[in-house]
């Protein structure tokens, strides 16, 4: 067993693969995960989907905390369910913010290292804490930490045995932008070093920034899978809908029709409904047009920005 090396570019053990074959999970009549197959190899993969899509259920099955109702989940060929040995190669950071608040971060990570029976638990704990930049607060009780600090402590505990596979459920929840960047960088480095990293998120931009590969879940099914840019392009080809209110809706509608990025304008009692082919071009053009016409825009609301609509579009595509 190796400890985390200061240089994550040098993986000590061969890469691991997590395989799901026809995995389903249901609770009574409710199907949470429906016939999902995927193979996760080295690198960072984002598990993307709206809340309630089955991401957490899928992660729990991957981590051996839930039996698949049908299908198999295997790590390098051995099942993860009822097999504690997989935790030699697997780390889990669950979404639920559960930590032993009466311990300090150092005690907590050290306990993890000891439970893993690492040869030098103190050194392993020190390195894992350094990796998440928690040295400064490591001797304070976890109960006194902010949400982001607890999250990093949990990541340190999950990384203490230098696992080949790391599963993270919504790891960016509750983190401030700096912590977020740091965590993204850490996942990047671990992925580049040949480790298999899977993290779930319901926020598109998070996934966009870290991972090239995504698995998109919608309503328990695997809706899309593969390179993020390809999937994103599918998403951007669809017109975006905005609700706009201004001091002179009719004049603004006329001016907007001349704009190339606008594909349609509807004039209603509550304002304009604008369809734009290019999200970025339209949002940049609108203030310019309004300024030129002497119209003041009072409201600009993207109407279908919710991930659910993006995903439902994906499913229909």
Partner 1 sequence: MSTVSWITARGLFGRRRFLLLFPLPAVLVLLAVLSRALGVDPGEWGPPVLVGLGLAVVLPVVALIVGTGVLGAEIDDGTVVHILTKPLPRWQIVLPKLAVATGVTAVTVAVPLYVAGVLAHSVRLGLALAAAATLGALAYSALFLALSLLTRRPVLLGLVYVLIWEGLLGNFVSGTKVLSIQQYVIALADRIAPTGLLETTVSVPVAAIMTALVSVGFTVLAVDRLRSFSVAGETS
Residues 136-165 that bind partner 1 (CB under 8 A): 157-158
Candidates 18, 20, 23, 32: give the one binding partner 1 (CB under 8 A): 32
Surface-to-core class of residue 295, CB atoms within 10 Å of its CB (0-12 exposed, 13-18 middle, 19+ buried): middle
Task: Indicate whether 105 belongs to the interface with partner 1 (CB under 8 A).
Answer: no
- Whole-number Cα distances in Å, 96 to 60, 80, 145, 163, 182: 12, 20, 15, 21, 21
Q: Which stretch binds partner 1 (CB under 8 A): 26-34, 221-229, 240-248, 282-290?
A: 26-34
Candidates 44, 62, 75, 86: give the one binding partner 1 (CB under 8 A): 86
- Tell which residue, 151, 159, 146, 150, has the closest CA to residue 112: 159
- Whole-number Cα distances in Å, 90 to 75, 80, 113, 162, 202: 9, 10, 14, 9, 23
- Give yes or no for a contact between 103 and 142, defined as CB atoms under 8 angstroms apart: yes
Task: Indicate whether 27 belongs to the interface with partner 1 (CB under 8 A).
Answer: yes
In the complex, what is the shortest distance from the CB of residue 91 to partner 1, in angstroms, rounded to a whole number? 7
Query: Per-residue x/- marks for partner 1, 239-258, CB under 8 A?
Result: --------------------
CA distance 311 to 46: 15
CA distance 153 to 301: 38
Residues 107-126 that bind partner 1 (CB under 8 A): 108, 111-112, 114-117
Closest to partner 1 by CB, 68 vs 191, is: 68
The strand pairing partners of 299, in sequence order, are 245
In the complex, what is the shortest distance from the CB of residue 209 to partner 1, in angstroms, rounded to a whole number? 23
CA distance 278 to 264: 12
- Give yes or no for a contact between 221 and 215, defined as CB atoms under 8 angstroms apart: no
Closest to partner 1 by CB, 84 vs 294, is: 84
CA distance 98 to 89: 22
Task: Indicate whether 135 belongs to the interface with partner 1 (CB under 8 A).
Answer: no
Surface-to-core class of residue 41, CB atoms within 10 Å of its CB (0-12 exposed, 13-18 middle, 19+ buried): middle
Q: Which stretch binds partner 1 (CB under 8 A): 71-79, 80-88, 243-251, 296-304?
A: 80-88
Candidates 45, 56, 104, 164: give the one binding partner 1 (CB under 8 A): 56
Q: Which stretch binds partner 1 (CB under 8 A): 34-42, 62-70, 123-131, 297-305?
A: 62-70
Closest to partner 1 by CB, 114 vs 245, is: 114
Candidates 2, 51, 230, 247: give the one binding partner 1 (CB under 8 A): 51
Task: Indicate whether 92 belongs to the interface with partner 1 (CB under 8 A).
Answer: yes
Residue numbers of the site for partner 1 (CB under 8 A)? 27, 30, 32, 51-52, 54-57, 60, 63, 65-67, 82, 84-88, 90-92, 94, 96, 98-100, 102-103, 108, 111-112, 114-117, 157-158
């Amino acid at each position: 067993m190796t400890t985390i090396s200061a240089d994550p570019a040098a993986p000590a053990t061969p890469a691991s693969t997590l395989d799901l074959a026809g995995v389903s999970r249901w609770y009574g009549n409710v199907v949470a995960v429906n016939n999902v197959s995927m193979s996760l190899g080295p690198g960072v993969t984002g598990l993307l989907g709206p809340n309630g899509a089955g991401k957490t259920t899928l992660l729990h099955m991957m981590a051996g905390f839930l039996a698949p109702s049908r299908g198999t989940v295997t790590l390098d060929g051995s099942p993860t369910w009822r097999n504690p040995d997989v935790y030699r190669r697997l780390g889990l950071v669950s979404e639920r913010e559960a930590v032993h608040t009466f311990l300090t971060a150092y005690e907590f990570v050290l306990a993890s290292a000891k439970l893993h029976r690492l040869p030098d638990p103190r050194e392993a704990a020190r390195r894992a804490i350094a990796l998440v930049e928690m040295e400064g607060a490591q001797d304070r009780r976890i109960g006194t930490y902010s949400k982001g600090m607890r999250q990093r402590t949990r990541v340190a505990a999950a990384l203490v045995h230098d696992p080949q596979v790391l599963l993270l459920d919504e790891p960016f929840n509750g983190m401030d932008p700096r912590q977020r960047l740091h965590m993204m960088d850490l996942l990047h480095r671990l992925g580049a070093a040949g480790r298999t990293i899977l993290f779930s998120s319901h926020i598109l931009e998070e996934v966009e920034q870290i991972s090239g590969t995504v698995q998109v879940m919608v309503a328990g099914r695997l809706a899309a899978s593969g390179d993020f840019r390809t999937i994103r392009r599918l998403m951007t080809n669809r017109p975006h809908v905005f609700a706009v209110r201004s001091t002179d809706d009719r004049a603004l509608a006329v001016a907007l029709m001349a704009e190339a990025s606008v594909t349609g304008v509807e004039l209603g009692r509550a304002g304009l409904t604008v369809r734009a082919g290019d999200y970025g071009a339209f949002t940049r053009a609108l203030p310019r047009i309004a300024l030129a016409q002497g119209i003041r825009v009072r409201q600009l609301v993207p109407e279908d920005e919710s991930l659910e609509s993006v995903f439902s579009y994906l499913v229909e595509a």
